[in-house]
């Protein structure tokens, strides 16, 4: 299972211990901690056979996670109440599982769990490619982070790994974060050139990021789009000079 787990400002040692144990249950080893605030000694007591997972945990920033992984999956109990709220547009656990399966190991995923008290902030969700929520079918939807992770990992584990990418003589390069970043820059430039509504630009960027996260674009795919946008910009500039 090519998935890592990140905890943002974890405060309670029992939760960190249980997350480590869960990761061991599902064969995961990459645990990342953003500004941790828990008692490490106490957390070990609750990690049981996941002590090695906890011992190897790395303290990082969200920006470092953004650079390291292809897809960041944020978590929230508060979904969008409007179709225009792209930031909190969520997918279900089984959908995340299917997306991971369909990429056939060509993308590195990291599931990010927020604070026990308040979850992930909007600016943190904005850094994620996808956001998942667990619909408890009740008015009280906020789950303990370890319990929520158990549901997500179980859904992911139910699907058989996708067929491995067949080796061919011609090497297929999956688009890197740098490639995606360049494409997003051109999306932004074209939006500016086309006088796109300023307040809608963040929504446009978020939508493109989600679209790319749900697929497996190659470097060639992305560069073709970059070329299209670059030519569009040149055409717009020439027309303005007339």
What does the radius of gyration of the chain's CA atoms come to, in whole angstroms? 20
Distance of CA 201 to the CA centre of its chain: 20
The tens place of each residue's pLDDT in the chain, 242 residues long, gives 679 999 999 999 999 999 999 999 999 999 999 999 999 889 999 999 999 999 999 999 999 999 999 889 999 998 766 665 666 788 899 999 988 888 777 789 999 999 999 999 989 998 888 899 999 988 898 999 999 999 999 999 988 665 454 554 455 577 887 888 899 899 999 988 888 888 888 888 888 888 888 777 888 888 999 999 999 988 888 888 77
- Residues 96 and 232: their CA atoms lie apart, in Å, by 34
- Residues 93 and 154: their CA atoms lie apart, in Å, by 9
- Residues 128 and 123: their CA atoms lie apart, in Å, by 9
Per-residue pLDDT at 163 = 47
> Would residue 139 be called left, alpha or beta, if left means φ above 0 and alpha means ψ between -120 and 50 degrees?
alpha
Using alpha carbons, select from 175, 182, 202, 181 the residue that is nearest to residue 191. 202
Using alpha carbons, select from 235, 96, 39 the residue that is nearest to residue 16. 39
Q: What angle do CA 104, 96, 73 make, to 5 degrees?
A: 100
The predicted model scores a pTM of 0.77
Q: Which segments of 98-224 are extended strands (E)?
A: 109-113, 130-132
Q: Which segments of the chain are extended strands (E)?
A: 3-8, 31-34, 58-60, 71-75, 109-113, 130-132
CB–CB of 6/33 below 8 Å?
yes
CB–CB of 109/70 below 8 Å?
yes
């Amino acid at each position: 299972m090519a998935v890592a787990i990140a905890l943002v400002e974890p405060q309670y040692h029992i939760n960190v211990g249980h997350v480590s144990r869960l990761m061991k249950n599902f064969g995961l080893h990459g645990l990342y901690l953003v500004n941790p605030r828990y008692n490490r000694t106490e957390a070990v007591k609750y990690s049981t056979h996941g002590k090695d997972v906890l011992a190897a945990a790395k303290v990082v920033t969200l920006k470092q996670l953004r650079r390291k992984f292809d897809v960041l999956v944020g978590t929230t109990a508060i979904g969008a109440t409007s179709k225009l709220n792209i930031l909190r547009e969520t997918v279900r656990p089984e959908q995340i599982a299917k997306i991971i399966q369909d990429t056939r190991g060509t993308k590195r995923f990291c599931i990010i769990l927020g604070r026990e008290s308040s979850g992930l902030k909007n600016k943190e969700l904005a850094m994620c490619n996808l956001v998942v929520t667990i619909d408890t079918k009740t008015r009280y939807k906020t789950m303990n982070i370890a319990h929520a992770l158990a549901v997500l990992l179980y859904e992911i584990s139910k699907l058989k790994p996708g067929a491995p990418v067949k080796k061919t003589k011609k090497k297929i390069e999956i688009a890197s974060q740098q490639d995606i970043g360049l494409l997003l820059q051109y999306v932004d430039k074209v939006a500016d050139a086309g006088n796109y509504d300023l307040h809608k630009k963040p929504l446009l960027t978020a939508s493109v990021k989600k679209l790319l996260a749900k697929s497996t674009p190659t470097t060639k795919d992305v560069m073709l789009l970059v070329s299209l946008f670059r030519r569009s910009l040149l055409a717009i500039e020439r027309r303005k000079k007339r």
